[in-house]
Copies of this chain bind each other. A is one copy, B any other.
Amino acid sequence: MYTVKEVAKMLDLSEHAVRYYTDKGLIPSILRDQNNNRLFNEESVNWLIGVKILKQCGMSIEDIKTYAELSIKGDSTIQERYEIILRQRELALLQLQEAKSTVDYLEAKTNYYLNIIKGVIADSSNPAKWPLKYELNEVWDTIGAK
């Protein structure tokens, strides 16, 4: 049996977050002691782990709750759960693509700055007047145009 503080430390979550999850009904097996303090047994800890993982996958609290409720209902909901995970996977793939473009863009931008700092681009014409446009012309047009 663990307290909020203990599970928070165990799972590297904030105590606020742990209370928030329990209050939102994401940990159905949560217990209370005689002073109304939250108590986590092994099952509750496992639920919390599941919630944490699905959150890291980008699922909203609402969706996680839906998914958890389906899990409780048992095998008859497996198809439905599968479809939720499928949709989430599609989202994750999109996010992966975006993360890649972002890294590419920022790499190009660091190189752009490195060149300026090293003096490779000696003539920075009129940067004070069009600072962002200047960068856009140099970097964004080549990278941001995909």
Binding site for B on A (CB under 8 A): 43, 46-47, 49-50, 53, 56-58, 68, 71-75, 78-79, 81-82, 85-86, 88-89, 92-93, 95-96, 98-103, 105-107, 109-110, 113-114, 116-117, 124, 127-128, 130-133, 135-136, 140, 144
Contact = CB atoms under 8 A, between A and B. Distances in A.
Which 4 pairs show the lowest CB-CB distances between chains A and B? A71-B131, A82-B113, A50-B132, A74-B128
Nearest to A27: B132
Contact of A50 (B81, B100, B117, B140): B140
Given A78-B117, A85-B113, A140-B49, A99 B92 contact: yes
A101 B105 CA distance: 22
A47 B68 CA distance: 44
Chain A, interface SS category: helix
A133 B92 CA distance: 23
A99 B95 contact: yes
Contacts of A53: 105, 140, 144
B57 A106 contact: yes
B102 A85 contact: no
Contact of A72 (B47, B50, B89, B131): B131
A82 to B, nearest CB: 4
